[in-house]
Chains A and B, each alone.
Chain A
């Protein structure tokens, strides 16, 4: 379990301090994959470095299994981390990299072979890590994280730069670790990736927690949905639905031909029945769910550090 309390990190800068992490509280529970989601520069990596004692918090605390990371006798047995696939000397072989790490925590050398096997790198273990592809580097980083068979695993952007097969492998692996009862904390700036991997979401933007809930709740709360209605007598249908307490908005069709209604507050079957009872004709009745990516964008729109022009996705609806 990872527990952060009022965790804050400020970096001194020329024009005042820059707040990277702004007094955040969260708990990462065992037995599930917790996604740590936020745009680039939101404070994800800084938070992960503070968990591992690499950066000192300006104030607040973060503990792993109930104590400060630096107090751990054999930290690799408590928490395994993939922070950066390049945190490896390119001239050293994969096996030697794992050997020095194992030695530092009194982990038997036999474990090195086991984790190499686990990530499927045994055949290239003698090669210099500098020759590894990005995907192989990530696997080596994950092997290092698993050296101490830790109950807590932290993966910072594990799918960055991976091919589809590698992404699927990481996803399955994280899933499996959580199913075994471990605490799994995975960061990403890709909502689509998180939606496939995580059970629980912690969304961060500009150093603050924007959401901390299950994936399902996140969908319900943030992924807006509406029913699209097309009909020859659109105005009449609209008035009818409004009389049934639905919110109705008439917009130009995305196809550019005619108009459509966007109805919220009344589900598709109810709309269909109401319209049929009045003897009107429908051409389309579709439930439209905005993607998680849209929900994430909407949630973090105000907290993205560098906008690429206006990122408003709702513009077309007006």
Chain B
């Protein structure tokens, strides 16, 4: 069973945390020159498994073999020695050091005890060249966008002579263009004989890049299948049941306009943005990352100021830069950065659900805690939030359940216009469908939904109308029937009518996750 091409083998791994079995009898193996996809819902145990390989956790039972020999990985040094490098979703880079310094952090080439900058930068340049990214070794990491940060991480892994490269959802924050580039690099590494463990939620990426797939469900490995397996089958393995329809949009009859935005402009960021959303309607906002979509909806919600234009809810104009006025008018925002802006992570489910309604539940300075608890319990049950209890910290919930909590707090406030910014990013298939159902219920009840998403199939599948933004302007609007991937992309990359006076970057690149 020992195979010359085998880099890693994991047998019967078990890991428990207090009160929780995270992994149980998981098997996995990795060969030279393959992309092995790890597939599973959030909370299935994928992260725990890769942390075991990077030395962050130790298994309670089972064994890990590297090159046919049993090894113990007790820390980052051990995994580095074994040639295992991990690229997490949160990068381990020091923002104020240069690219070269980050690549060689702690291992800078030295001459007479002084860091040999010239050699370090030359070596870094070679590595960056190999990764195929056009960035100066002397650039500061702080100045780089997310895609390039990822490339720097990969270069760093190469500098360690990694034979095993683990990538945790590397495509989650990239635009489709950047994803193509990443794939090219991964394919090149595969040709060089590197074994790659690839975690993703995007099923179409599996066929495009992967060789084999190991599916993990509830802490167990439930199957190993070739990457050519049909998506339906992968979903069934992952969720444990088949999902009838990935985008179950039920269209409601559109009513009167609820949200009307006219000529909204913030100089240098977005220009002359006009649109309206009717009751019972889902309007999708597509576009490349950096097209100004998030900035527009934040301005509509009053979180950020704008220079010109008007925002009306049900005909009444809203004051500029006033979150409370927007809320009072019935607007709610589910922000893009769930953990950074949507949740108070160390507080309980109950506290988070009650955040928006707390003011309304206050009489004479006292919060009606009992009423808040009852409301939270009701909405948590309605949304099917999977939790140990209302007192559980939201930090310990899975991504999908966290997102339900964010949406839940707006539902409690009787929101009429709900703005969803990347509502399903990093969320597994099962939870996605539940969130779509929720959108259906909202529109059926007469609310309006404005949904930003970089996931094109999602925009096309769930929207009644699609608004496409490019470089801070509305490039076009498509009714659902005419909205195809090609049509949307054509608009998204279209040059705006009046070119921007200050082009920022030649490459369109994602901001740092904001």
Q: Do A and B come from one complex?
A: no
Q: List chain A positions with a Cβ less than 8 A from chain B.
A: none
